[in-house]
Structure 1
Amino acid sequence: MKKSRPRSLQWVLVRRLILLQAASFVALIVLLVAILMIAQPRLIIDNEAAIKHLSEAVARDENGGLLVRDTEELRAFREDFPNLWFVIRDADGHFVQEGSIPAAYEAAGGELLKNIGRATLRFDEGDRRPEAALANVDTDVGPVQILTSSISSRDENDGLEVEISVNADMAKDANGNPDWLRVLPVLALLILCLLLPIIVVMGVATLVTTPAVVRRSLAGLVATADQAGRIDIDNRAVQLETAQVPTEIAPMVHAFNNALSRLDEGYDQRNRFLTDAAHELRTPIAILRTRAELLQEDPQSARLRKDIERLSHLAQQLLERQVLEHSAGSREVVDLVALAKTLAADFAPLAFEAGYELAFEAEATKPVPTSIHVQQIEQAVANLLRNAVEHGGNRGTITVLVDARGGIEVHDDGPGIPHDERERVFEPFYRLRPRSSGAGLGLNLAREIARLHGGRIDILYGSWSGARIRLQLPVLDVNHPAILSTASA
């Protein structure tokens, strides 16, 4: 079964927002088309409306001349546009005019204007004379020419003049009806040309801005996730911040913080239990050791004392392991060369008693300063030395080597550590040889100490015989403030 890939919340939101905007845009177009189909509006600007009303109101008198009847529509239009003027002519030279007619239009006429169906007359920009509309229309009294305007000067407008002119001439059949088979493709292309720029602009804006908006909205959540990724066993009491987290995600963050608190409390309870147990074990072990020393010297009593010693060592390592994270005191700047040399000298009697020779080598010609908890590092190196004594085969030389890079190596001439066991030997209570007298906690405790100091422990492999384990610690720069203050003191 193919494992499904996790979906990106950011791109899910972006995709859904884009689809929502596209659906809204389509719905808006459909709604506008429906409104236009139902309302069937007629868009008529002022001058065109004047022509319409005048053509409906024009009539002839008893002598065949032209006159304009005072219709209700024309009366209402005059109330809205009190500066209305017009000139109406027919083919026989009759005319009727009204209002303050600009001089430029008063003499308008001629054969050219008679052949024009409809026109808008305007002057150059800056000319104060008004724009007028001219139309040759068929009326009840025959064809007439109407020249009119709703204003007598451009100064009479409201400060902003907007003109929208749309001319649509559709193909028609022999009966004068629209030929939709020819009109619809062109109309669809026209609509596409009008809407495509809007769609492109909206699409580009959506693709560019929406991810940025979503990413900015989720920035607090990303920061909280980064903070959660930095939580480990050393800072498990940290609580995730919720100030920048979206309201919808805040309950999950609070639940995660509560889970961290419960885990921290359970971890502390377990540590307290193991620490108390290790403390309690020390008393009966001490009693057993005292009673064993009173027994007669024989192989059984010697073996019993050895088992008691192993049990005491196990209880001590358990106690050291549990109190490791709560070690009191600040770090000290020490010279690794001097520290390792002192530890080698302290372990010399134990190594000699077990049948080994002990050597100390310092590759560094100068002090190697490092900031450490001295007791913890002494304990880690001591565990490496005990491991060498335990597994070195009781022969050869145990060598303690220090180099200028901050490394302390412990070598022995024993059988060594198999390559496939190099990680398992650091597991708690794992023993390379089941019958070994060790407790299986020494290397695990040494690695934990190195980790707390920002270092590591590695098992080295090469053409040599025996085991070589290296404790690597950070080395301070010679210009470090702690070193300078020590030197000045």
Structure 2
Amino acid sequence: MSRAAPSLAQVLTRRLVLLAVVVFLLNSLAVGIYYGSDLRGLESEVFTRETERLRDALEGDVLPDDNAVRVLYAMHPDAYAFALVDRGGTVVDAMNPGLIPPSATDVFADDWFTRLDTPDGYLVVAGQEFAQRQDGLRVVFVMASDPARLLWHAFVDEFYEHVWLPILPLVLLLIGANIFLIRRGLAPIAAAAEWARNLRPGAPAPQPPTAQVPAEIADLIDATQRSLDRLTAALAAEKRHAAEAAHALRTPVAVLVARLDGLPPGETTDRLRADLSALSRTVQQVLASSRADVLTVGEHVAVNLGDIAESTTAALAPFAYSKGIELSLALPDDPVMAQSDAEGVELALSNLIENAILHGGVGPVEIAVGPGATLRVRDHGPGLPPEAECHLFRPFWRGEGAVPGGAGLGLAIVDRLQRAQGGRVEARSATGGGAEFILSFPSAEI
């Protein structure tokens, strides 16, 4: 089964989301490159973060020995160092002081940052007086390398604070708003499509969408309505002509049948009678076809399938007897009710029984009601041909070896009758030989 094509709203929504994602990723890439290339800014951010950590960990002017801040400096003695210096220039606490240049603790500027070249590379050295303190305590921070990836963490934090946090919610909000606007804007198109799906040739057109629609959609609806009206008129004329022709042929056919009864028996008379019988069935099929096009079933209509099967079997018994075929009917104990048209059910079942009599060989034809709202017709002939699955219900199709005289309309009419009643017809090769046709109908409450 092929997958249904996506709606226009889905296509536009996917493209919008894709565009928003691409723009967001490109913006993130640009900002990431910008922040990643600003090494001095990242180093300054690392110093600011470490200053805040040290300030928050102080107890008075002392950093406790068991404080978690010391872990970083204890694990990387060759990479990071700090010193706490009071207003008089005395170092009151320090870790890894060997990394700290001697002159760094003598700088009394409130906030300073520098990079010093060394034989092994460079040192990031910065100092700052703790804010909101009255004792003038300041910190000196040194970074010789970055095994703890402080620069990377600073980059991620900057990226999160300046890209993801402010931009991502805005992107999501814009996507949601545009999806809402797209669906709202395309609602008239969806209503027009629903209206078009409910159009049926030969049936009154449903009321067009009452909501205000764009001018282009209104023109399309109007043009479709006019085309449907012309098609409906042409189809009605075709049905009327077919029904009128079939009705007109019934009288001459009946006259010919009566005149044949007055001819002396013989081979020629028998052939004429067979040909006339085939012509009569064709006329009946054309009439049935015209009825299938206008067949409607009321919501609360219920028919007894057993009664229809019994009357139809009795009506076709003489025809079966003339062909040397025995008919058998199996009825359930309880009524089987279906939401169907009695004439439609009778026409469909008659066509199947006639088809089984003509094509089912010499064995009996078995008609059964049930289980459920179904009618079954089985013959004991050669079964279904291999190509039947694709062509069995096509008009005018006849399999190889079919009995001469048919028009190939019977099964096509049965299919149309069933679809008009909301039912279906199935065909399959029966166990033990022969073919079985099953008419299924919507069930009705008794």
Q: TM-score, structure 1 length as denominator?
A: 0.54
Q: Secondary structure at the match of 1:440?
A: coil
Deviation at 1:437, TM superposition (A): 2.6
Q: Structure 1, residues 307-361: CA drift from partner, whole Å, max 9, x if none?
A: 1221122122112211334359967533323332333333333323322222222
Equivalent position to 1:337, from 298, 306, 316:
306
Equivalent position to 1:389, from 357, 376, 395:
357
Consecutive unaligned residues of structure 2, counting only runs of 5 or more, are 24-160
Deviation at 1:399, TM superposition (A): 1.0
Equivalent position to 2:186, from 183, 207, 218:
218
* Structure 2 Cα separation of the partners of residues 357 and 285 of structure 1: 27
Q: Is the 8 A contact 1:390 1:438 kept in 2?
A: no
Distance 1:304-1:346 versus aligned 2 partners, 3 A rule? closer
Q: Is the 8 A contact 1:429 1:440 kept in 2?
A: yes
Q: Is the 8 A contact 1:360 1:399 kept in 2?
A: yes
* Structure 2 Cα separation of the partners of residues 11 and 327 of structure 1: 39
1:346 aligns with 2:346: no
Q: Secondary structure at the match of 2:354?
A: helix
1:403 aligns with 2:379: no
* Structure 2 Cα separation of the partners of residues 396 and 6 of structure 1: 52
Q: Is the 8 A contact 1:242 1:250 kept in 2?
A: no
Distance 1:382-1:9 versus aligned 2 partners, 3 A rule? closer
1:424 aligns with 2:391: yes
Aligned-partner residue type, residue 441 of structure 1: L
* Structure 1 Cα separation of the partners of residues 251 and 310 of structure 2: 34
Deviation at 1:452, TM superposition (A): 2.0
Q: Structure 1, residues 10-32: CA drift from partner, whole Å, max 9, x if none?
A: 7559759x89xx9xxxxxxxxxx
Q: Secondary structure at the match of 2:216?
A: coil
Between 1 and 2, higher relative CO (CA 8 Å, sep ≥ 6) is seen in 2
Distance 1:429-1:219 versus aligned 2 partners, 3 A rule? same
Deviation at 1:271, TM superposition (A): 1.3
Q: Secondary structure at the match of 2:339?
A: strand
Match of 1:304 in 2: 272
Deviation at 1:237, TM superposition (A): 2.8
Q: Structure 1, residues 355-399: CA drift from partner, whole Å, max 9, x if none?
A: 22222223x332212233222211211111111110111x22211
1:368 aligns with 2:336: yes
Aligned-partner residue type, residue 398 of structure 1: V
Deviation at 1:248, TM superposition (A): 3.3
Equivalent position to 2:419, from 448, 451, 461:
451
Q: Is the 8 A contact 2:328 2:366 kept in 1?
A: yes
Match of 2:287 in 1: 319
Q: Structure 1, residues 116-171: CA drift from partner, whole Å, max 9, x if none?
A: xxxxxxxxxxxxxxxxxxxxxxxxxxxxxxxxxxxxxxxxxxxxxxxxxxxxxxxx
* Structure 2 Cα separation of the partners of residues 272 and 257 of structure 1: 22
Deviation at 1:212, TM superposition (A): 1.0
Distance 1:302-1:257 versus aligned 2 partners, 3 A rule? same
Equivalent position to 1:260, from 205, 228, 235:
228
* Structure 2 Cα separation of the partners of residues 354 and 195 of structure 1: 88
Match of 1:276 in 2: 244
Match of 1:487 in 2: none
Aligned-partner residue type, residue 319 of structure 2: L
Match of 1:230 in 2: 198
CA root-mean-square deviation: 3.5
* Structure 1 Cα separation of the partners of residues 444 and 211 of structure 2: 38
Consecutive unaligned residues of structure 1, counting only runs of 5 or more, are 23-192, 478-482, 484-489
Distance 1:404-1:317 versus aligned 2 partners, 3 A rule? same
- Identity fraction in percent: 31
1:466 aligns with 2:434: yes
Distance 1:426-1:194 versus aligned 2 partners, 3 A rule? closer
* Structure 1 Cα separation of the partners of residues 308 and 329 of structure 2: 12
Aligned-partner residue type, residue 382 of structure 2: P
* Structure 1 Cα separation of the partners of residues 163 and 342 of structure 2: 77
* Structure 2 Cα separation of the partners of residues 7 and 475 of structure 1: 34
1:206 aligns with 2:210: no
* Structure 2 Cα separation of the partners of residues 398 and 332 of structure 1: 30
Distance 1:435-1:207 versus aligned 2 partners, 3 A rule? same
Distance 1:248-1:284 versus aligned 2 partners, 3 A rule? same
